[in-house]
């Protein structure tokens, strides 16, 4: 009985953390690979919640480990795909941004934007602009637009970049609300 209770608590905590990570990764991934940012975030959140929940349950109960191993492995591959798509630095920065850790997000975005992998570098550029926008730093956000337009073939004007960024910013705030994080950071 105690093991099951531990598994449940661990599953809830793991699901919450995994969902935020998955949602944040899915959000940035949608910027790079197209698609609706909300759908990318929701898909990522579902994957992340499952991985996190299973991971938490495994910590709480050895029996859960045996029962959930196959499901966990499949979901873990999905999360790892997000990481590969946008790179570890952008993925970790997106999670930090969702958690209102702007300095960490910017540091990760700076590293990602220097990547030799063009998708990772572009993820870093978008993440940096999104972080500035979340901070309300309009001048720094707009200063990112020419570089994003230069590297992202999906946008070809500042107006389009701004619209995309504002859409993703709304989705980021929604992710925070859904996972009981502050909608607007201090």
Given a contact cutoff of 8 angstroms between Cβ atoms, the answer to whether 120 and 90 are in contact is yes
Integer Cα distance of 68 and 63 in angstroms: 9
pLDDT, position 55? 47
pLDDT, position 27? 77
Q: What is the pTM of this model?
A: 0.70
pLDDT, position 156? 94
Given a contact cutoff of 8 angstroms between Cβ atoms, the answer to whether 22 and 47 are in contact is yes
pLDDT, position 79? 74
Location of structure tokens 């990602």: 112
Integer Cα distance of 89 and 91 in angstroms: 5
pLDDT, position 11? 38
Residue ranges of the chain whose pLDDT lies below 50: 1-16, 38-58
Location of structure tokens 């599953």: 11
pLDDT, position 80? 81
């Amino acid at each position: 009985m105690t093991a099951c209770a531990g598994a449940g608590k661990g599953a809830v905590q793991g699901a919450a953390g995994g969902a935020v990570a998955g949602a944040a990764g899915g959000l940035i991934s949608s910027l790079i690979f197209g698609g609706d940012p909300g759908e990318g975030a929701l898909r990522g959140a579902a994957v992340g919640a499952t991985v996190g929940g299973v991971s938490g349950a495994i910590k709480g109960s050895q029996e859960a480990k045996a029962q959930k191993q196959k499901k966990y492995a499949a979901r873990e591959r999905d999360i790892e795909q997000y990481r590969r798509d946008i790179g570890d630095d952008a993925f970790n920065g997106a999670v930090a941004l969702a958690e209102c850790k702007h300095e960490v997000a910017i540091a990760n975005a700076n590293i990602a934007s220097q990547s030799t992998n063009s998708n990772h570098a572009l993820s870093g550029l978008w993440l940096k602009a999104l972080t500035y926008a979340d901070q309300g730093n309009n001048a720094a956000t707009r200063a990112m637009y020419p570089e994003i337009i230069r590297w992202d073939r999906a946008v070809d004007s500042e107006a389009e970049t701004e619209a995309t960024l504002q859409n993703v910013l709304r989705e980021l705030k929604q992710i925070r609300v859904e996972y009981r994080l502050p909608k607007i950071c201090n």
